[in-house]
Structure 1
Amino acid sequence: MEGDTLHSIGELARRTGLTVKTIRFYSDRGIVTPTDRSPAGYRLYSTDAVARLGLVRTLRELGLDLPTIRRVVDRELSLPEVAAAHAEALAVQIRVLRLRRAVLTAVAERGSTPEETELMHRLAQLSEDERRRLIGDFLDAVFGGLDAAPAFAAAMRSMTPELPDNPEAEQVRAWVELAELSQDPDFRAGVRRLAEDHAAEQAGSGTVGPRRDLAAIVHDQVAPALAAGIDPVAPHAEPIVAVLTAHYAHLLGRPDDTGLRHQLATRLENMNDPRRERYGRLLAVVNGWPAPESLAPEFDWSVRALRARAE
Structure 2
Amino acid sequence: MNDLYSIGDVARRTGLSVSAVRFYADEGVVTPTGLTGGGFRQYDVHAIARLELVRTLRDLGAGLDDIRRVLAAETTLHNLATTHLRLVEDQLRQFRARRAVLRTIVRQHTTTEQVSLMHKLVSMSDDDRDQLINQFWDFVTDGLDVHPGYIERLHAMRPHLPEEPSTEQLEAWIELADLVRDEEFRTALRDHLHRTFNTEKGRLMATPEMMAHAERQRELFLEAKAALQAGVPAESPQARDIAERVAAARAEMLAAMTGQHDPDEVRRSIVAFDRNKGARWMAEATGLKLLTRYSTLVATINGTPKPDPDQAATLHEWMAAALR
Matched residue, 2:306: 291
Matched residue, 1:151: 150
Q: Is residue 180 of structure 2 the alignment partner of residue 198 of structure 1? A: no
Q: Is residue 71 of structure 2 the alignment partner of residue 73 of structure 1? A: yes
Shift of 1:276: 3.1
Select 1:26's aligned residue among 24, 27, 39. Answer: 24
Cα pair 1:7 1:44 within 8 Å, conserved = yes
Shift of 1:145: 4.8
Shift of 1:294: 3.5
Q: Which deviates further from its counterpart, 135-144 or 95-104?
A: 135-144
Matched residue, 1:16: 14
Select 2:287's aligned residue among 271, 275, 297. Answer: 271
Shift of 1:40: 2.1
Shift of 1:148: 5.3
SS in 1 for 2:42: strand
Matched residue, 2:229: none
Q: Could you state the TM-score of these two structures normalised by the residue count of structure 1?
A: 0.72
Q: Once the two structures are aligned, what percentage of the paired residues are identical?
A: 37
Matched residue, 1:98: 96
SS in 2 for 1:167: coil
SS in 2 for 1:210: helix
Structure 1 residues 165 and 223: alpha-carbon distance in aligned structure 2, compared to 1, 3 A threshold: farther
Select 1:133's aligned residue among 126, 131, 134. Answer: 131
5+ residue gaps in structure 2?
219-249, 255-265, 314-324
SS in 1 for 2:274: helix
* 1:153 partner letter: E
Cα pair 2:159 2:298 within 8 Å, conserved = yes
1:178-215 residue CA offsets vs partner (Å, 9 max, x unmatched): 000001112111222233332544676599652266xx
Distance (Å, rounded) in 2 between the aligned partners of 1:88 and 1:179: 28
Shift of 1:107: 1.0
Shift of 1:106: 1.1
SS in 2 for 1:108: helix
Shift of 1:53: 0.6
Cα pair 2:96 2:166 within 8 Å, conserved = yes
Cα pair 2:147 2:206 within 8 Å, conserved = no
* 1:198 partner letter: F
Shift of 1:128: 1.3
- Structural mapping, 1:191-270, within 5 Å: 191-196=189-194, 197-201=196-200, 205=204, 209-211=208-210, 224-227=272-275, 269-270=285-286
Structure 1 residues 185 and 10: alpha-carbon distance in aligned structure 2, compared to 1, 3 A threshold: same
Distance (Å, rounded) in 2 between the aligned partners of 1:210 and 1:280: 23
Structure 1 residues 95 and 206: alpha-carbon distance in aligned structure 2, compared to 1, 3 A threshold: closer
Shift of 1:168: 0.7
Distance (Å, rounded) in 1 between the aligned partners of 2:293 and 2:142: 22
5+ residue gaps in structure 1?
233-264, 299-311
Matched residue, 2:234: none
Distance (Å, rounded) in 2 between the aligned partners of 1:175 and 1:289: 14
SS in 1 for 2:309: coil
Distance (Å, rounded) in 2 between the aligned partners of 1:26 and 1:149: 68
SS in 2 for 1:162: coil
* 2:309 partner letter: S
Matched residue, 1:86: 84
Q: Is residue 179 of structure 2 the alignment partner of residue 181 of structure 1? A: yes
Structure 1 residues 203 and 7: alpha-carbon distance in aligned structure 2, compared to 1, 3 A threshold: closer
Cα pair 2:122 2:174 within 8 Å, conserved = yes
Structure 1 residues 45 and 225: alpha-carbon distance in aligned structure 2, compared to 1, 3 A threshold: closer
Distance (Å, rounded) in 2 between the aligned partners of 1:177 and 1:35: 60
SS in 1 for 2:209: coil
Shift of 1:283: 1.1
* 2:294 partner letter: Y
* 1:88 partner letter: R
Cα pair 2:101 2:119 within 8 Å, conserved = yes
SS in 2 for 1:163: coil
Distance (Å, rounded) in 2 between the aligned partners of 1:225 and 1:90: 54
Q: Which has the larger radius of gyration?
A: 1
SS in 2 for 1:33: coil
Matched residue, 2:297: 282
Cα pair 1:277 1:294 within 8 Å, conserved = no
